[in-house]
Every structure is written in C-alpha cells, then in structure tokens.
Amino acid sequence: AQSVTQLDSQVPVFEEAPVELRCNYSSSVSVYLFWYVQYPNQGLQLLLKYLSGSTLVESINGFEAEFNKSQTSFHLRKPSVHISDTAEYFCAVSSEGTALIFGKGTTLSVSS
C-alpha cells in the first residue's frame, strides 16, 4: 500500500526566509507526486506535480519540488516566502489504478 509522510506538522518562518517542506512516500510501483495548498476556509488547489521527465518541477508562484526516487522524497522549497504563503500544504501520491493518497499536511506560518 502507498503512504505519504510529511515530516513536519508546522513550519514557522519569517518573511523573505527560505523554506523547505518535507515529504516522503512509500510505494512499490511508479508514482505520480503532487503538492496541494489549502488556504483558510477554502478547498485545496494544485501547486505543482511530477508525472515524468525532469525531476525538478516549478510552480508559477516561486515554489519548486524535486523528485528523488532513491530517497523516495518530493520536498517542496521556496527561496523567499511571503506572508501570503501562509497556508496548509499537502503532499500526495498516486499510481495507476489507485486513488490519490494525501499526507497529513504541513502548516506553513509566515510572519514579519
């Protein structure tokens, strides 16, 4: 069975600091990997995803994630965060024939 572990439940950072949200997965088959973001009182929205090809994927708002097959990781990074990045971030994994499995989420709190 597949599973996703988000190693940090809460990550507090100051504005303009770099941040890394960690995600590890376990699966015996090829996977697709996703990061979703949930702002307060809203549903989730896709931040970025890895399906195949280049292991580094980027979002339009400055986040990036790197698929590392040997370490079974898909960590999310941003070199300089803004107050508006405060939200809950979910890592998720899927493979052919299976549903999307989410990690328990990481709350990113950005303060000035």
Which residues make up the interface to other proteins (CB under 8 A)? 32, 34, 36, 41-46, 49, 51, 90, 94-105
Residues 76, 87 contacting (CB under 8 angstroms): no
CB of 91 to other proteins, least distance (A): 11
Whichever of 60 and 99 has its CB closer to other proteins, that residue is: 99
CB of 57 to other proteins, least distance (A): 13
Whichever of 86 and 98 has its CB closer to other proteins, that residue is: 98
| Tokens, residue 88 | 């809950």
Whichever of 72 and 94 has its CB closer to other proteins, that residue is: 94
Q: Which of 94, 76, 63 is nearest to 23 (CA)?
A: 76
CB of 26 to other proteins, least distance (A): 16
For residue 89, what are the contacts with CB-CB under 8 A and spacing of at least 6?
6, 21, 35, 36, 37, 38, 47, 76, 105, 106, 107, 108
